[in-house]
Structure 1
Amino acid sequence: MASAPLPDTIARDRSIRRAGPPRVGIISNSRSHRNRVRGAEAAVVPADTPNLLYRGPRTLPALAHALREFRDAGVELLIVDGGDGTVRDVLTCAHSIFEGAMPRLAVVPSGKTNALALDLGIPPEWTVQDALHASASGTVRTRASVEILRGDAEEPELCGFLFGAGAFVRATELAQRTHKAGAFNSFAVGISLFWGVAQTLFGGRDNDWRAGEPVRLQLDQGPAVDKTLYILFSSTLERLPLKVKPFGRVRPGLKMLTVDAPPLKMARAVPALLRGSEAAWLKKAGYHRDDVSSFTITLDGGFILDGELYEGGTVTVRQGAPLEFVTP
């Protein structure tokens, strides 16, 4: 059974009201793209700002230590100054440290990819100071993360927002190459998407893109099915870069797209998928969309979570608890 939808906002027409200034913790990634170019935004916040803790951890153990400091200090607003990968690392560490009592979050989009910020309506030029101001007068939007559990584990190993396997892994590798060439955000997504489709359309029968990957897939509590997939893409985000709609109509919850291998009618199907078409012929041609609360996949190849490649095996992907994000 699909999980219950989350409201897009919980404070669309009202300010966030508190008895006093919130205790704020800032995690800044000095190696994120914008911070390397312009300097870390958090660094320009006055040191004597009341109720503010700033940390710039460079390793996962240092990040965990900083988050424990924030928890013990009673932080009410956690600002993440970085890209999607930084958000993934912070949420993954924070899940066990805050034990279900997560503070409100704010994202300053300073990475190479900032899909979460785009979905939340955060402008590219948003700063730490903007997030601080929004904590008093902005809107709060809710999003659930994607949680990844390994084998029979009950607690997630990873928390993020964009999960993919099969051709999604190759497309991500292409995106990382475009980053090195100076392309970022939606432009990088566009280049990678175009090149991936071209590789598939014009490749021969032995083309790795077309061949797909054998997997065992189980949706919610349904039966496990062995199949070969060209791509699997899943997310709890509602709005994606370039305004593409691979899951169809915009809606909350954990959504997934799977494409059978080898993909059929791609020249017609890809434009239809990207604009959100829900025509019946797409499913008949092997393009499947599902709303789920969780799914379990076994695959030999790796999977991608928010731009990072992880080892395959048997993993369960589920919708996590709702998180509150401060937005403009």
Structure 2
Amino acid sequence: MASVALLSNPRSTGNRALLPRVREYCAAHPDIFHYEVEDVDQIGEAIRTMAMVSPRIIVINGGDGTVQGALTELYSGGHFDGSPPPVAVLPNGKTNLIALDLGAEGDPLKALERVVELVESGRLEDHVVQRQLISLDSGDNAAPVLGMFLGGAYLADVMLYCRNRIYPLGLPNGVSHFLAGILGLFAILFGLGGGRLPPKPETMTVSLIRQGELKGKFSLLIVTTLERLLLSIRTSDGGGTNGHMKLLATDSNVGAMLRMLSATWRGTLGHRPLDGVHFQQGDEIRIEGERSNVILDGEIFQAKSGMPIILTSTQPVPFLRLAA
């Protein structure tokens, strides 16, 4: 038996320097069951093995792909008798959106120490919060994939551009994200795309059951169950009450982008309608297009004509919030 089960991916960028410290910490705390995976294909076996030690909490130490794979196995793999234990996410990887939403910032080892402290003090349940997951069906007869943050439209293109063209330069993550965002904004402002810049936006259709359909070219498409996402936008204060998934889409023009950024700066995004800015909630969302990339917690999917990506929200599942 172990109180804490820790899943680490040594190949995660953040773990290259961190993992030796994590191993040393776990060696000094025998109540932590530490399982390392070299590839996301090993996550299923990792979660199955963790279930055997009946942990009170599962901690994920890896990038977005590791988190997405672990959530899918936890809630679709049937490895636990009954509901899986709460999940804590260390602030590792390149984006850390899920970790930030759950109050984990700064040094990942400090976050792990905080988890152990809560377990040992008996105050774990006081920090458990409920979140829905996004279930993504890509229409290719594969099992649905679970996650919490989906980026699509031009946002996905810029994210892929950053991954393929900027990260190899070896710059710090924050600098890489800033540079990719500036180049993407530059391309939109001047109607450019391709070559050394992100590609131009493609037409796509986004359908919300009972709320209607959006069709056009979008500079930003976000679907999430998180309370906080890119640009420090909070999603819990606006946008309606018709489901658990929050949708933010911005038309691909300068005016819509500026209105969205201005409302974000003022903290009023979602409080009132804005021309070209769509902020809604729904319990089923369909995304379709000729070449429409979406990224769910680091994993790439592509919507095609006649084969839409279908998103639905799950029942609430427990996570550990580290903030006081």
Q: After TM superposition, is the score higher than 0.5?
A: yes
Partner of 2:74: 94
Structure 1 counterpart SS, 2:319: strand
For the pair 1:30 / 2:41, whether they are aligned, the reply is no
Partner of 1:147: 135
- CA separation in 2, counterparts of 1:29 and 1:43? 12
Partner of 2:113: 129
Structure 1 counterpart SS, 2:130: strand
For the pair 1:312 / 2:303, whether they are aligned, the reply is yes
Displacement of 1:135 after TM fit? 2.6
Number of residues of Structure 1 aligned to a counterpart in Structure 2: 304
Structure 2 counterpart SS, 1:109: coil
Q: 1:79 to 1:188 in 2, by over 3 A?
A: same
For the pair 1:79 / 2:42, whether they are aligned, the reply is no
- Deviates most, 296-305 or 263-272: 263-272
- CA separation in 1, counterparts of 2:52 and 2:29? 19
For the pair 1:289 / 2:282, whether they are aligned, the reply is no
Partner of 1:111: 93
Displacement of 1:26 after TM fit? 1.2
Partner of 1:202: 190
Which blocks of at least 5 consecutive residues in structure 2 are unaligned?
none
The answer to whether the 8 Å contact 1:28/1:42 transfers is no
Which blocks of at least 5 consecutive residues in structure 1 are unaligned?
1-20
The answer to whether the 8 Å contact 1:201/1:267 transfers is no
Q: 1:35 to 1:288 in 2, by over 3 A?
A: same
Partner of 1:10: none
Displacement of 1:55 after TM fit? 1.1
Displacement of 1:152 after TM fit? 9.0
Q: 1:267 to 1:311 in 2, by over 3 A?
A: closer
Displacement of 1:27 after TM fit? 0.7
Structure 2 counterpart SS, 1:30: coil
Structure 1 counterpart SS, 2:107: coil
Partner of 1:170: 157
For the pair 1:43 / 2:9, whether they are aligned, the reply is no
Identity of aligned residues (%): 23
Higher RCO, Cα 8 Å, sep 6+: 1
Displacement of 1:173 after TM fit? 2.2
What is the TM-score with the length of structure 1 in the denominator? 0.78
The residue type equivalent to 2:316 in the other structure is P
- CA separation in 2, counterparts of 1:182 and 1:121? 27
- CA separation in 1, counterparts of 2:90 and 2:174? 17
For the pair 1:323 / 2:317, whether they are aligned, the reply is yes
Q: 1:115 to 1:206 in 2, by over 3 A?
A: closer
Structure 2 counterpart SS, 1:321: coil
The answer to whether the 8 Å contact 2:157/2:199 transfers is no
Q: 1:52 to 1:259 in 2, by over 3 A?
A: same
The answer to whether the 8 Å contact 2:72/2:146 transfers is yes
For the pair 1:277 / 2:271, whether they are aligned, the reply is no
What is the TM-score with the length of structure 2 in the denominator? 0.79
For 1:243-254, list aligned pairs within 5 A.
243-244=232-233, 249=237, 253-254=244-245
The answer to whether the 8 Å contact 1:26/1:42 transfers is no
Structure 1 counterpart SS, 2:315: strand
How well do the aligned residues superpose, as a CA RMSD in angstroms? 3.4
Deviations 1:157-192 (A, max 9, x none): 211222122101222024324433344555443333
The residue type equivalent to 2:208 in the other structure is L
The residue type equivalent to 1:323 in the other structure is V
- CA separation in 2, counterparts of 1:61 and 1:152? 19
- CA separation in 1, counterparts of 2:203 and 2:41? 35
Displacement of 1:279 after TM fit? 8.1
